[in-house]
Amino acid sequence: MRHRKLTGYNWTVFIILAVGSIVMAFPFIWMILSSFKTTADVYAYPPRWIPSSWDWHNYSEVFRMIPFFRYYFNSIYTSVAQTLLEITLSVTAAFALSKLRFPGRNFLINLIRSTMFVPMIVTLIPLYLLVSRAGWIDTYRGIILPQIFSAFTIFLLMSFFVTVPNDLLDSAKLDGCGYYRILTKVIIPNSMTAIGTAVMFSFLGHWKSYTWPLIITNKTNYRTLPIGLKYLVQESSSEYQVMMAASVMAILPVLIVFMFSEKQLVRSVTLTGLKS
């Protein structure tokens, strides 16, 4: 194996990247260190980097204060279900809106786009009323279904689907493919980078969703992790070290999703910079 000699330029790039990496990794390192700290350590000034004692007490405190595993299961269950449904809905919608021509298409696109300008708090109460009338309070359906439409995901996918050459679609049609097979055999395989990115954004959004699950659930059995995390801190005096311990454990599924979709995400970012 041939080793390239590090030039001055390379060293400069290396140092810049190393500094950037440290800056990006800093919140995670701080979170992990804080999860072992005492209250005095957390509020110490100047900041105390290394905990005065490495104590697992904060982790046991999380399990004492909230039904962590129940919340964990609920978060995984609802986030995975919401992501799957949202991606399915968004892929089909994006395909129809980007590749098919039908009356009212532009109106539909503008209608979907307009939903991006309405803050969630405005729709919260009407949505609650609908879900309440359907009898979905304190149900997984109530948490999952109202949150599976995302204009952002549809437009993200549309922007990739339009780059798939129409010639490919025409060839598929000549070979006897219907819309379903065109979508599954042509569009999706050629857009895996975009779909991977959409999966990651979608999962992250649902994983950290707080307000809707809080509003729609009253029973512990249906509550998700962000509600549990919020319970660990109070308005007046916060035990941040306990919240950090819970956050360390809560971040694991997100890291797993990121590890699986990282390659797609990086490729999608690269592709957006290419000219056809």
Whose Cβ is closer to other proteins: residue 14's or residue 43's? 43
Q: Is 133 in the site for other proteins (CB under 8 A)?
A: yes
Determine the interface stretch with other proteins among 91-99, 182-190, 226-234, 255-263 (rule: CB under 8 A): 226-234
Q: Is 154 in the site for other proteins (CB under 8 A)?
A: no
Q: Which two tokens stand for residue 81?
A: 């279900």
Q: Is 145 in the site for other proteins (CB under 8 A)?
A: no
Spatial separation of the C-alpha atoms in residues 136 and 75, rounded to whole Å:
17
Q: Is 136 in the site for other proteins (CB under 8 A)?
A: no
Q: Is 235 in the site for other proteins (CB under 8 A)?
A: yes
Exactly one of 80, 239, 251, 253 binds other proteins (CB under 8 A); that residue is 239
SS3 category, 107 = helix
Q: x/- string (CB under 8 A) for other proteins, residues 62-91?
A: ---x--------------------------
Spatial separation of the C-alpha atoms in residues 252 and 220, rounded to whole Å:
22
Q: How many CA atoms lie within 13 A of 181 on its CB side?
A: 10
Whose Cβ is closer to other proteins: residue 46's or residue 103's? 46
Q: Is 112 in the site for other proteins (CB under 8 A)?
A: no
- Say how many Å lie between the first and final Cα of the chain, rounded: 36
Q: Is 50 in the site for other proteins (CB under 8 A)?
A: no
Whose Cβ is closer to other proteins: residue 111's or residue 120's? 120
Rama region for 234: left / alpha / beta (φ>0; ψ in -120 to 50; rest): beta
CB of 247 to other proteins, least distance (A): 15
Determine the interface stretch with other proteins among 25-33, 105-113, 210-218, 264-272 (rule: CB under 8 A): 210-218
Cβ pair 246, 232 in contact under 8 A = yes
The 10 Å Cβ neighbour count of residue 237 is: 7
For 246, counting Cβ atoms within 10 Å of its Cβ (0-12 exposed, 13-18 middle, 19+ buried), the class is buried
CB of 16 to other proteins, least distance (A): 29
For 163, counting Cβ atoms within 10 Å of its Cβ (0-12 exposed, 13-18 middle, 19+ buried), the class is middle
Whose Cβ is closer to other proteins: residue 64's or residue 113's? 64
Exactly one of 128, 136, 140, 258 binds other proteins (CB under 8 A); that residue is 128
Cis peptide preceding 46, ω within 30 of 0: yes
Spatial separation of the C-alpha atoms in residues 261 and 203, rounded to whole Å:
11
CB of 224 to other proteins, least distance (A): 12
CB of 150 to other proteins, least distance (A): 22
CB of 142 to other proteins, least distance (A): 12
3-state secondary structure 9-53: HHHHHHHHHHHHHHHHHHHHHHHHHHCCCCHHHHHCCCCCCCCCC
Q: Is 211 in the site for other proteins (CB under 8 A)?
A: yes
State the residues that interact with other proteins by CB under 8 A. 39-40, 43-46, 65, 121-122, 124-125, 128-129, 132-133, 137, 211, 214-215, 218-219, 227, 230-239
